[in-house]
Structure 1
Amino acid sequence: MIIFNKEKYEGIAAEDNAGIVGENLVSKVEFTVNDFVGKNTIAAIHLRFKDGSVNTVAPQTVKTVNNSTYIMWKIGKNDIFCHGWVEVQLELREEETTLQTDIVRLFAGESIPIEDKGFTNPNSETLALRDEAKKCWDKIAEQNKQIENNIKVIADSDITLKEEKANKVTLKADVTDESYPSVAYLENYYYDYDDVDDEIQNLKSSVDTKLNLKADKADTLAGYGITDAYDKTYINRSLNLKLDKRPFDTEPKYNSPNYITSGTVYNSVNSLRQTVVQNKADIEKSLANKYDAANNEIGSGELSPGQTIYEGSAGNFVYAKNGDAVTVSVNITSMLADKTYLQMTGLPFPSKAESRLASIAVYSTKNKLRNVRIDGSWIYISAPSDKFVEDEKMNFVVTYIIRR
């Protein structure tokens, strides 16, 4: 059951008066539902107002008191849509259990909050209709204002600017700068649609008659019925056998488009032949005195340790060969430290045997004096008074005769 304070509402029959809350000046309503207790109770308050609008609000407090459920609804704006009576039904849910109370009618005076006029509540059909009606009245007022403005514009118009009927003419002879044509004038001096259409049809008939006397458009002579004329293929074949008409030159000229006589051609060709023969002899004589360019060669390569005990050493080279002589620029990029001797192989050409009997002295990057000797395609490097040091490198150039 629902427990609330009942107080007679003045002017209402006793059988229709279920009571009002407090003295009609409260901002909250309290309900107690006996014999309904839950741990996670969800409550809703369903409202139906005198004008037929409805609303559902959530109470601010739902809690268990003894063996009952206490509900407190703090009335806020947009909760109450219409003053007068309001029907209330409580709904409580606890897991799969739902309780709906009987509908009780209460009475609300002007002191209970009503909706904010600037707020649109989607649950109120009454408010929606009221707003729609207001929009209609505003539109009607706007149209009435426009009608009044139009009437004022017409009233304020200068009637003297209107055209006089007396200036309307029907004959071309009556046309002046101040007159304007009437419908009769337009009918007298201009074709209407039917007249223009008749003229077009007559013209089309005349053109069709003349076109029927013409041959159909074709791409060949046969298409026009001509069978005894030379065709394009025959003429092109005949023209291809003809020379273009040009004058003859008496002697060959550079870039000349003209022809030359056969005698001129013979004399010129014969003279040219003799010149070519002489030039050929001169060139062959000159070439015999030149060195064969095929004996020249340039290239590069890598050096590798001559034995496994020298692994870790590395080097490369570039060379230029001219006949039997070759010049090699050697770059030893890695030398094993604490060694006094190094053998590297891989030179591009083997040297003559005599080269093994000669050596050169070269300073390394550590400013150490080193002996270098070439034997075949091998390079031998030795330290006469000390040992190679860490990160020591060498660069030198040797020229030798290739062994054949």
Structure 2
Amino acid sequence: MAASVSYVVRLLRLLTVIAALGGAAALAAPGPASVAEGIYASAPPRLLQIRTLVADAGRQISIGSGFLVSADGLAITNYHVVSQVALEPKTYRLEYVAADGSHGDVSLLGVDLPNDLAIVRLDKHDAPFFTFDKTAMEGGLPKGERLYSMGNPLDLGFTIIEGTYNGLVEHSYNDRVHFSGALNPGMSGGPTVNGEGLVVGINVATRRGGQLVSFLVPARFAAALLQSAREHETAPDLRAEIARQLTAWGAALYKSLGEEGFRSTVLGPYRTPETIAPWFNCWANTNAGATPKPRANINSTNCSSDTGLFVASDLNTGAIQINHSYVKTVDLNQFQFATYLTQLSQPRLVGGGPYRKWYTPERCHEDFVSAAPAQDHPPLRVIWCAQAYREFEELYDVALIAVTQDHSSEALVSRLSLQAVGYDDAIALGRRFLEAVQITK
């Protein structure tokens, strides 16, 4: 009896609070959960799981997500979801499984390599589809707006994830949206929509080592790819198209790097070149606290570009790195110090092992470069290494290493690494890089 009285008292208190908040209207007010529920309720006929299958075996080898963007069966997904079919169409094929249970074959029509997008055609007609948000395509989405991402994470079933829009990622060469939401493997290529169900971005990646740090491709790139597919009735030679897009993207990247130029920074008794391009992140490190105590002190700066480009599961390219290490002996003699510098200045290209199918063997050249005495340039031992891409004509990975030769107990080791670069661009940037190495004392 006492329990019943307590229950009645609690119920009366709850009804009093509800009345104060506006009674039934307060209970009926839609919240974020009801928005997500409404969006997801209409999504299943428009959502897809995209599967890559080994053609002869008929079994899937990878999965991703996608979404319909037209009534005649055109759909958007990520390029990396379908890359195996794009590069090896005789070995792999695509199929879809929709959230409403339908399934069938998929034809790959086109790709946007820099933005990691692809457009495909399904055997669907008069199907509901997603449309793009005009405000998002014009860059007018306010930070903090609630967004909803959909896809099939880890092949667990179609899911909706709530998060927020945080604008474009800073220090990134390719535009990416920072989305605070839990994207997981398998959701790549799915849509992220606003509260009205309009697409503002396409799921593309998540930051490992972080929490709820995910990335979207802005909707305008998917809309442009859709328009291009409509204008071209036949699919291009996709392998040739990938090569064309990679070459054009690399040319634009290195033109931009050259236009941004280098700034001079001080490291020990030297001046070193660092780029002023906004899509680099620079950090410093030192071995001062290392155990056991090092025999040479090394203070370094490392600048890495956010320009990586996925080409295949075993080929990510397009990165640029600038590294400078000021090295000063503690107890090494002159011969030992020279040996130590030689070890520190070894080239680090990626063309061996599993990458061998993509690259020719590297070729290196070493020489000494001296400036006129009146100039503030130290004599340098310069190592130049390059390897060509087997599949992509006139593109190279290049490593340029310069070691100062003006002192027997201290030196600067500078390194410039370029991926997917034209040879003339590499020569021009390398020359400017070496000219910017100077002495301050």
Tell me the TM-score normalised to structure 2 length.
Answer: 0.20
Larger radius of gyration: 1
Tell me the TM-score normalised to structure 1 length.
Answer: 0.22
The structure richer in strand per residue is 2
Give the number of the structure with larger relative contact order, counting CA–CA contacts within 8 Å between residues 6 or more apart: 2
